[in-house]
Amino acid sequence: MAAFDNLSNPSEYLAYWGKTYRNELLTNILPFWMKYGLDKENGGYFTCLDRDGTLMDSTKSVWFQGRFAFILADAYNRVEKNEEWLKACKNGIDFIEKHCSDTDGRMFFEVTATGIPVRKRRYVFSETFAAIAMAHYSLASGDKSYAEKAVHLFKQVLHYKNTPGLLESKFREGLVTKGHSFCMILIDTAARIREAVNDPILTQQIDDSIAELRRDFIHPEFKAILETVGPNGEFIDSIAGRTINPGHSIETAWFILEEAKYRGWDSQLKEMGLQILNWSWDWGWDKTYGGINYFKDCKNFPPPRVLARYEVLVATMRGGYRYALRLPSDWRRQISRNAQTNKRLHV
């Protein structure tokens, strides 16, 4: 049996894929982004590139500034001491510090190529990604001031999280909720910063987030993590409340297993992480076409986005009613075939 498929020999299997992914990182992914993604004029990174490197939009995602700076620092720390990666990492962090924060200390979501604000959202994920970039740049460069900046930024995130009214709610007063994504990202953010500086608040927040996951977001009756719950973990029987995001949940399993490993393979955390992973894989894997489904409904209702398909069909036929017979024949066949195939949905 080939090494890439030989699960009966785990060491050989992992060695094969480790070498394969390392090669992909070093010969494809990092060279592509180093060549096309670096903004050598304004600093930071372009984030909207075509497969051939063509710039499609110069607007810069602030999330990506932090995430790519972190990847570069992490690659420097774990893969090889490539000074170009370290220099490019600092380029991104400098851009973040110079252009990506508002006057209230919150970070923007998008800025122009030169750093002019484009959009600011209610999330604080820009801050979490910037923090892990700074922490790992501190490890790579030896400049401990960036670890201190990372902790300061993390504490600022917690201040916004824990102070009512500072962050805009997703819904109005008719629906009071909290989201899984905020809970789970704090686990990984704290863990990544802790690799550079062991401030007590980091492990404390990991403990708090894991406890919150157990108490409020893990719903054994559905064998799932729910993305949106009530303030105390109440099940909300609505589209938002029934939503499972298998990818998010698999990430959460990964973060918990990383923490289990950090704690000497803590048995309870290991069991928790593996249970979430197994549940999420069962919900997420598309048994027909492969790949991971984006969203699932915990009661197995169809995703609401299916309605848009029928708007397209109706608009095409009605908009061209007088000229229906003039529509290309393959269009007419596709519309009729699709309607017949899906008439059982009663839409």
DSSP state letters, 42-107: TSSB--EE-TT--EEE--EEHHHHHHHHHHHHHHHHHT---HHHHHHHHHHHHHHHHHSB-TTSPB
Model pLDDT, residue 170? 76
pLDDT per position in the chain (347 positions), as tens? 566 677 778 888 889 989 999 999 999 999 999 999 999 999 999 999 999 999 999 999 999 999 999 999 999 999 999 999 999 999 999 999 999 999 988 999 999 999 999 999 988 999 999 999 999 999 999 999 999 999 999 999 999 999 988 877 777 777 888 999 999 999 999 999 999 999 999 999 999 999 999 999 999 999 999 999 999 999 999 999 999 999 999 999 999 999 999 999 999 999 999 999 999 999 999 999 999 999 999 999 987 655 445 555 565 555 554 455 555 666 556 656 655 555 554 44
Model pLDDT, residue 309? 53
Of residues 34, 2, 31, the one with CA closest to residue 15: 2
CA-based Rg of the chain, rounded to a whole angstrom? 23
Rounded CA-CA distance 44/38 in Å is 6
> Counting runs of H as helices and runs of E as strands, what totals does the chain give?
13, 11
Rounded CA-CA distance 308/328 in Å is 22
Model pLDDT, residue 140? 97
Model pLDDT, residue 14? 87
Domains of the chain (ranges; CATH) run 37-168 (1.50.10.20), 177-301 (no CATH), 310-345 (no CATH)
Tell me if 107 sits within 8 A of 130, measured CB to CB: yes
Q: Which residues pair with 60 in a beta bridge?
A: 111
10 Å Cβ neighbour count for 316? 15
Rounded CA-CA distance 7/4 in Å is 8
Give pTM, 2 decimals: 0.87
Residue owning tokens 């027909």: 288
Rounded CA-CA distance 322/340 in Å is 22
Q: Is the dihedral of CA 227, 231, 234, 235 positive or negative?
A: negative
Tell me if 285 sits within 8 A of 230, measured CB to CB: no
Backbone angles phi, psi at 340, to 5 degrees: -65, -40
3-state secondary structure of 208: helix
**How far is the first Cα of the chain from the last one, in angstroms, to the nearest whole number?**
49
Model pLDDT, residue 347? 45
Model pLDDT, residue 69? 98
Rounded CA-CA distance 16/217 in Å is 36
CA triple 253-257-262, angle to 5 deg? 150
**The two three-digit tokens of residue 241, written as one number:** 């409340």
Please tell me what DSSP assigns to residue 38. Answer: B
Model pLDDT, residue 169? 79
Q: For the chain, how many residues are written?
A: 347
Counting Cα atoms < 13 Å in the Cβ hemisphere of 164 gives 2
CA triple 6-8-14, angle to 5 deg? 60
